[in-house]
C-alpha cells in the first residue's frame, strides 16, 4: 500500500506543470455524449464517445461502368530483367489499356484454399472507429486515476485496432494504446510491466520521442532504456510471401518494397504489416516477431504453393493447368477473362507478351507482342495494337478466336527463363542512436590552498576540502540532489531500474519534505497560541544566567 501511494504521489507532483494545459485541452475536447453525465461513463467502458458534430458521410456519384471488365496479373520478369521494371510496366499498361471506352483492367484476385480471405473493409473501418472510442474512454478514465477500468479500456482498444489493421495507415493508434498501458503500470509502480509496454512502443517506432511535459523523468528514462536495449540486441525479419506478389508492403506506416519481400532490420516486438495492391482491398495484420527470427505473412492476393501461373510465366511459358487457374479466378470475380504476361529486356528495348485467358473456357488468345523503349515514353502508342486485340477477344463470342494453352511454346522467342518469383530484400534503417554512457561520476585529486578554486573547464561543479583534502567533480546526472527543485527531471534520477520507492532521492525529496513542512506548520501554530495566551510560554520568566569560571593566576 505504501509503495502504491508513493508512486501515485510522485507522478502527481511530476505532472503538476502540465496539469493546467492538460485540463484546458480536456475541457475543449468533447468526451461526453450530448446530454450525458461524464461520471456515468465509468460504469460502462464500452459506452461510445461521439461528437455532437458527427455528420453522415457524403455519397459520391458512381463512375461510369464500362461494358467489359478484364483481370490483370503483374508482369513476370524473364532472365535478368528486374522485378521493379515488371511492376512499373504493370502500372503503365493498366493506364494505357484503361483509356479504352469499353474495356477496364482490374487487379485479378487469385485466392485459394488456405490463403487469407479478402478483407472486409467495412468491418475494418468499424473496428477502427470502435478502437478510437475505446481509446478516448480509457484516456478519460486514466485522467480520473481509475486504473482498473482504464487498463481494460486500453486492452479492448488494442483488440479493436488489431481487427482494423488493414485500414490503419500508421501505427500511431497502437502506440497510443501501449503508452496508455505503460502509464497505467507506471502509476501503480509496476516496473516490469511498464518496461514491457514501453518495449512495444519502441518496436513500433524507435524514432519516437516522448513528450517531456506529459511524462515524468523516470518514465522518460524507462523509455530510453527500453529503446537502448532493443537497439543493442538482435534484429528481426518479416517475410511477405508470394501470395502478396505485386503488392506494396508497408510496415508500421513505413512504405518498403513490393512483395514478395523480406524486410529485415526490424526491432523485435509487435509490428503493423499491410499489403496494398491496386484494385484490391488492403490487407493488414499485427505481427509479433522474436529477436533473430523471421515472421512469414500471407496476404492471399494470389494462389500459393505454385498453384498460380507465376512459376509458369517465369519459365517463359503458360501451361493449360495454369491457364485453368487464371480462368477460374476471373470467373469467380465476375470477369470476362484475364491478362497475364511476361517481360524481358534486350539492350535498350523492353519486350512484352500478353496473353488473354477466357474465363468461360480456359482457352487463350495471344495479343500482338509489344516492344517499348527502355524509358517507356512510347508505351501509350505501342500499346494501341495490343489494346485493340484485347477488345476483340473480350467481346468475341466465337470459340475459334481462342486456342488451348501450350506449355511447349515460349511466350517470347529467345528470352531466357527466370529463376522463379523474385524476392525483394530491404533492411530498415532508423534515425536513432543508442544513448551514450554517462561519464565517470567522480574525479578525485589532491590540491593546495593556493590553487585557484575555479570551476572545471567542462563546467562541472567543484568542491574543495582544505589543504590536505580533495577536489571532487560531480556529474549533474549522477548527483542525486542536483534536480531537487524540479522532481521528475533527468537530473533527479539515480537508478531508473530500481522501483520508485527505492530511489535514492525518494526519502529526502518527498517524505522528508513533507515531514519538514508539517513540523513548520506545527511550530507556527504553537507560536500563535502562545501569543494569544491560549497556552503558557514555555520559556523562563528571566533570561538565562551564564557563569564563566576563570582559572586562577599562577602564584
Residue 447 grid cell:
590540491
> What pLDDT score does 39 carry?
47
> What pLDDT score does 77 carry?
86
- Exposure string of 113-151, with b = 16+ CB inside 10 Å and e = fewer, is eebbeebeeeebeebbebbbbbbbbbbbbbeeebbebbb
> What pLDDT score does 443 carry?
41
What is the pLDDT averaged over residues 366-395?
Answer: 82
CA geometry: angle at 50 spanning 49 and 56, to 5°? Answer: 150
> What pLDDT score does 442 carry?
41
Q: Which of 163, 156, 155, 91 is nearest to 127 (CA)?
A: 163
pLDDT in tens, 340-352: 999 988 877 888 9
Class for domain 70-110+308-425, per CATH? alpha beta
Q: Which of 192, 184, 111, 191 is nearest to 154 (CA)?
A: 184
Q: What stretch(es) of the chain map to CATH 3.40.50?
A: 70-110+308-425
Q: How confident is the model at residue 273 (pLDDT cuts 50, 70, 90)?
A: very high
> What pLDDT score does 79 carry?
79
Q: Is 44 exposed, middle or buried (0-12, 13-18, 19+ CB in 10 A)?
A: exposed
27-36, 146-155, 374-383, 387-396: range with lowest mean pLDDT: 27-36
What is the pLDDT averaged over residues 36-63?
Answer: 51
Q: What stretch(es) of the chain map to CATH 1.25.40?
A: 2-51+117-232
106-110, 151-155, 362-366, 447-451: range with lowest mean pLDDT: 447-451
Among 1.10.720, 3.40.1010, 3.30.70, 1.25.40, what is the CATH number of 2-51+117-232? 1.25.40
End-to-end CA distance of the chain: 74
pLDDT in tens, 504-553: 433 444 444 555 455 455 556 555 555 555 556 655 554 444 454 555 54
Strands 471-474 and 442-445 come out as antiparallel
pLDDT in tens, 169-213: 999 999 999 999 999 999 999 999 999 999 999 999 999 999 999
Would you say residue 484 has pLDDT above 80?
Answer: no
> What pLDDT score does 243 carry?
81
Phi-psi category of residue 347: left, alpha or beta, with phi > 0 → left and psi -120 to 50 → alpha: left
Residue 171 grid cell:
501505427
> What pLDDT score does 416 carry?
79
Highest mean pLDDT: which range of 11-25, 388-402, 507-521, 532-546: 388-402
Would you say residue 364 has pLDDT above 50?
Answer: yes
Strand partners, 236: 266
What is the pLDDT averaged over residues 288-299?
Answer: 94
Q: How confident is the model at residue 65 (pLDDT cuts 50, 70, 90)?
A: low
Would you say residue 503 has pLDDT above 50?
Answer: no
Residue 260: cis peptide before it, omega within 30 degrees of 0: yes
Higher-scoring residue by pLDDT: 358, 348:
358
Highest mean pLDDT: which range of 75-79, 202-206, 463-467: 202-206
8-state DSSP, 489: S
Highest mean pLDDT: which range of 6-10, 247-251, 417-421: 247-251
pLDDT in tens, 221-261: 999 999 999 999 999 999 998 888 778 999 999 999 988 89
Strand partners, 357: 338, 364
- Exposure string of 498-529, with b = 16+ CB inside 10 Å and e = fewer, is eebbebebbeebbeeeeeeeeeeeeeeeeeee
For residue 18, the SS3 value is helix
> What pLDDT score does 96 carry?
87
Residue 214 grid cell:
506529459
Q: What stretch(es) of the chain map to CATH 2.60.40.1120?
A: 236-300
Q: How confident is the model at residue 380 (pLDDT cuts 50, 70, 90)?
A: confident
Residue 72 grid cell:
490483370
What is the pLDDT averaged over residues 430-451?
Answer: 58
Please give the mean pLDDT across all residues of the chain: 75
CATH architecture, domain defined by 236-300: Sandwich (2.60)
Q: How confident is the model at residue 469 (pLDDT cuts 50, 70, 90)?
A: very low
Amino acid at each position: 500500500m505504501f509503495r502504491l501511494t508513493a508512486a501515485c504521489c510522485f507522478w502527481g507532483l511530476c505532472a503538476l506543470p502540465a496539469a493546467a494545459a492538460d485540463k484546458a485541452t480536456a475541457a475543449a475536447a468533447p468526451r461526453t455524449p450530448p446530454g450525458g453525465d461524464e461520471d456515468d461513463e465509468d460504469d460502462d467502458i464500452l459506452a461510445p464517445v461521439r461528437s455532437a458534430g458527427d455528420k453522415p458521410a457524403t455519397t459520391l456519384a458512381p463512375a461510369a461502368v464500362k461494358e467489359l471488365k478484364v483481370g490483370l496479373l503483374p508482369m513476370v520478369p524473364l532472365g535478368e530483367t528486374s522485378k521493379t521494371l515488371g511492376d512499373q510496366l504493370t502500372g503503365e499498361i493498366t493506364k494505357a489499356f484503361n483509356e479504352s471506352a469499353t474495356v477496364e483492367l482490374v487487379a485479378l484476385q487469385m485466392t485459394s484454399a488456405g490463403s487469407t480471405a479478402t478483407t472486409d473493409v467495412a468491418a475494418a473501418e468499424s473496428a477502427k472507429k470502435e478502437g478510437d472510442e475505446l481509446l478516448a474512454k480509457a484516456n478519460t478514465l486514466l485522467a480520473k486515476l481509475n486504473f482498473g477500468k482504464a487498463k481494460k479500456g486500453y486492452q479492448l482498444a488494442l483488440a479493436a485496432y488489431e481487427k482494423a489493421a488493414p485500414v490503419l495507415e500508421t501505427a500511431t493508434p497502437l502506440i497510443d494504446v501501449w503508452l496508455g498501458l505503460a502509464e497505467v503500470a507506471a502509476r501503480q509502480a509496476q516496473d516490469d510491466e511498464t518496461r514491457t509496454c514501453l518495449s512495444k512502443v519502441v518496436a513500433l517506432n524507435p524514432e519516437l520521442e516522448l513528450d517531456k511535459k506529459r511524462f515524468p523523468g523516470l518514465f522518460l528514462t524507462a523509455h530510453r532504456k527500453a529503446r537502448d536495449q532493443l537497439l543493442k540486441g538482435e534484429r528481426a525479419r518479416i517475410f511477405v510471401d508470394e501470395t502478396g506478389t505485386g503488392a506494396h508492403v508497408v510496415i508500421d506506416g513505413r512504405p518498403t518494397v513490393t512483395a514478395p519481400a523480406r524486410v529485415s532490420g526490424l526491432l523485435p516486438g509487435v509490428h503493423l504489416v499491410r499489403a496494398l495492391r491496386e484494385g484490391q482491398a488492403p490487407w493488414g495484420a499485427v505481427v509479433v516477431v522474436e529477436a533473430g527470427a523471421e515472421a512469414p505473412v500471407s496476404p492471399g492476393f494470389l494462389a500459393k504453393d505454385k498453384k498460380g501461373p507465376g512459376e509458369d510465366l517465369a519459365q517463359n511459358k503458360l501451361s493449360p493447368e495454369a491457364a485453368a487457374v487464371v480462368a477460374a479466378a476471373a470467373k469467380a470475380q465476375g470477369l470476362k477473362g484475364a491478362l497475364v504476361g511476361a517481360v524481358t529486356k534486350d539492350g535498350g528495348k523492353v519486350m512484352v507478351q500478353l496473353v488473354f485467358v477466357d474465363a468461360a473456357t480456359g482457352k487463350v488468345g495471344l495479343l500482338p507482342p509489344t516492344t517499348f523503349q527502355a524509358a517507356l515514353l512510347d508505351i501509350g502508342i505501342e500499346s494501341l495494337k495490343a489494346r485493340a486485340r484485347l477488345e476483340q477477344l473480350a467481346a468475341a463470342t466465337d470459340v475459334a478466336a481462342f486456342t488451348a494453352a501450350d506449355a511447349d511454346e515460349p511466350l517470347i522467342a529467345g528470352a531466357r527463363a527466370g529463376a522463379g518469383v523474385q524476392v525483394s530484400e530491404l533492411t530498415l534503417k532508423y534515425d536513432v542512436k543508442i544513448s551514450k554512457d554517462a561519464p565517470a561520476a567522480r574525479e578525485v585529486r589532491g590540491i593546495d590552498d593556493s590553487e585557484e578554486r575555479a570551476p572545471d573547464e567542462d563546467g562541472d561543479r567543484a568542491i574543495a576540502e582544505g589543504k590536505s583534502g580533495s577536489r571532487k567533480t560531480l556529474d549533474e546526472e549522477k548527483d542525486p540532489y542536483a534536480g531537487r527543485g524540479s522532481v521528475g527531471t533527468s537530473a533527479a534520477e539515480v537508478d531508473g531500474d530500481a522501483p520508485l520507492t527505492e530511489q535514492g532521492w525518494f526519502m529526502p525529496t518527498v517524505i522528508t519534505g513533507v515531514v519538514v513542512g508539517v513540523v513548520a506548520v506545527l511550530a507556527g501554530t504553537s507560536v500563535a497560541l502562545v501569543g494569544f495566551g491560549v497556552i503558557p510560554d514555555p520559556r523562563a520568566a528571566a533570561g538565562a544566567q551564564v557563569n564563566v569560571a576563570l582559572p586562577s593566576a599562577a602564584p
